[in-house]
Structure 1
Amino acid sequence: MVVVPGALAGPSDAGRGSAPPRALLIDRQPLFLAALGSLLASPPLNADVLVTTKSNEALEIAGTRDVDLVLCDVRAEPVAAAELPAMLAGRLPGLRVILLADQEDEPLLLNALQCGAAGFFTKDTPVAEFLEGVAAVVSGHFTVGRGLLRQVLAMMSGDAEVPPKTELKRLTTAELGILRMVGRAESVKKIAQQRGISQKTVRNHLASIYRKLAVRNRTEAMLWAARMGLAQPET
């Protein structure tokens, strides 16, 4: 799993303090809703769970209840899942949205990467990783399931327009090495450990990479690396 610290952090007074989060779940399948609700209501999250099978009903609930987190199937109807983050933000500033998808719906998650959601996971994500990701989102971070990210990057590297190679010449040797690791979904901590530098130095390199490549965040840098063929595992 990749966590981008504070990428979508909202107002400091968002949420309900130290109380367990209130989560609103949206999915077309009642059985999945029941299983997911039970998981989130149990430790370590102990969430107060609300459920609905319709995305328009979720908007109504968000208008009348204090909700901290929305977990929504990417095929939610009748309001498209990719439209929900912006619509919900107008009702509850600071509310976080996580989009979920079956494996065959990964392209829909790719198309929704810039919709304003704070987390993206496929439904086959390991439970421990998923719960860690949900907790990170509740804390104000941006998360992408590791398995999903690898497949999305592979798809992007084959289908997307390739950026000009002249862009690579702007990067130093160290920055290029770090970009390769970012493309493989390595965490800041792991990059620092493998390169023998501090996490602060890694973040400084990332800031320089973003500026030189004209990308806004780590997710866009990952996609850029994939399109350039830099995300391949080392042999």
Structure 2
Amino acid sequence: MIRTTLGLIALFAMIAAACVAFGAYFSYVTLQNAHRSAIEARFSITAERIATTAQFAASLGIALPAQTTLSELVAREARLDPAVDSIDVLDDRGTVLFSSASARVGAPAGPLPHAVGRRIENDLAAAIGRVVVRYDPASMDAGARALADDLRTIAIPTLIGAALATIAIGILLAADLKRAARRAAEPEKWPPAARTALAAAQSVHASVTRGGAPDPAATTETARS
């Protein structure tokens, strides 16, 4: 009985710890996605500013390749945020027209694994180019590590506390059950109604054992006493 009780307490403690661990993991994933969205939203604002400038110039009749002032603009915007690797302005074929990294001018955009973009449109809402902000993935990794460290600092003590609290509650419940079982084995500690019922049952059992029918009057008198 003791072994079974201890096994159940250990099982419930592991379940409580597992619940805390899963909760911490899902919180980490949620916060990491929120952190990524926040950083990409910051870069999207930069792309939006440059695209708005290019669209305004296009509305005045200046073709996108002729907007040479964009070269200085993208360089200035890239210097404002150290997490930005480069800012490119592409034409509608994906060729880099202007870039904060001058070596990229004239080259195709290529793959964009860590970048956010914004379309450049003319007055008819047709795409005439695109602004692409490439960022350093290390900025994402640093935020993810910080989140992991914070959650680990909170989750590990919580996990240990949940397991210990479950064990303590299990031991208290087991002690109460043990005391109740001990009281149940000692009829003199039963409530009066329970003792009366036991006496009546014993009287009936004794009458049956002697081979005679139980005396209703005696049974009633015993129950009344």
Same fold, TM-score > 0.5, yes or no:
no
Return the index of the structure with the highest Cα Rg: 2
Bigger share in helix = 2
TM-score computed with the length of structure 1 as normaliser: 0.21
